[in-house]
A and B are shown apart, each in its own frame.
Chain A
């Protein structure tokens, strides 16, 4: 009887610790899910005299991808972002975060530019509004301008296939 208790307590501890190991403490759940995408009106990376706002995307399902030329994981995820943009499921807007134009523009030239436009957030102020704390970060925003999903860290083909694509299809269908 006593042994059964000890075994049960030990098993409970093992399960608790095992679950703890599978959680990633770096993945902080965003309070922005289900909330309207924070407003911005930022200059374009390619054309400093033109601006672009999240309002320009109202009525469309779209992806906001936060990237920077100084961020190695952004380079890693770039083929996935490119494939997503090419899939036609949703346009991808780039948010160039705390970068310099003379670094960001050659980076796009070297690695390809999948972005509908890229907006230029030199100070990172809009990044704060979106709760960005580690580039790259990716948001899915629906037709009404509500954030539906956030991915922190580089997009992998698995995340794109299992999470983003089904969600984008569903949102596109929802009309």
Chain B
């Protein structure tokens, strides 16, 4: 048991023992980038071999003094905008960003028009009904 724990520590150790500030930046960036193998996970959440490689790539570049921006550009140059977990706002993604709000507005407009148009008809009562109602109210 103790031997296996030690083995585990030796395996995991080097990766964790490194500069915690660097690891924090690596994890931060990994949360912003998509794992291309399992597309609905970020690089930070995924354990696919490619995700591990790309996390190592991030770590290596940050350790060599690259900025977050430079690492993201490196990834986008190779894998396209798709690698960004949050899509950038540009002409080709405009529909994605404002589409929901347009739909919401259109729905609200439609609803408002329908409600405005709806008229409650005046109750038409016969004389007999009026007399009955009056009786109830007495």
Contact surface of A with B, Cβ cutoff 8 Å: 25-26, 28-32, 98, 123-125, 128-131, 133-134
Asked whether B78 is an interface residue with its Cβ less than 8 Å from the other chain, the reply is yes
A31–B37 CB distance below 8 A? no
Chain B interface category by residue count? 10 to 19
- Residue from A28, A125, A130 whose CB has the most chain B CB atoms within 10 Å: A28
**Which B residues lie within 8 Å of A133 (CB)?**
36-37, 50, 79
**Which A residues lie within 8 Å of B80 (CB)?**
28-31, 131
Is chain B's binding surface mostly helix, strand, loop or mixed? helix
In the complex with contacts A98-B49, A133-B50, A128-B37 CB distance below 8 A: no
Residues 41-98 of B at the A interface (beta carbon under 8 Å): 49-50, 53-54, 57, 76-82
20 A-B pairs (CB sep. < 8 Å): A25-B39, A28-B80, A29-B82, A30-B80, A31-B78, A31-B79, A31-B80, A31-B81, A32-B78, A98-B49, A123-B53, A124-B49, A128-B53, A128-B54, A128-B57, A131-B78, A131-B80, A133-B36, A133-B50, A134-B36
Min distance, Cβ A156 to any Cβ of chain B, angstroms: 21
Contact surface of B with A, Cβ cutoff 8 Å: 36-37, 39, 49-50, 53-54, 57, 76-82
In the complex with contacts A31-B76, A31-B79, A130-B78, A26-B39 CB distance below 8 A: yes
Nearest-neighbor residue (CB-CB) of A28 within chain B: B82
**Which A residues lie within 8 Å of B54 (CB)?**
128
- Residue from A28, A29, A32, A133 whose CB has the most chain B CB atoms within 10 Å: A133
**Which B residues lie within 8 Å of A30 (CB)?**
80
Bound Cα distance from A134 to B38, whole angstroms: 10
In the complex with contacts A26-B39, A133-B36, A134-B37, A124-B79 CB distance below 8 A: no
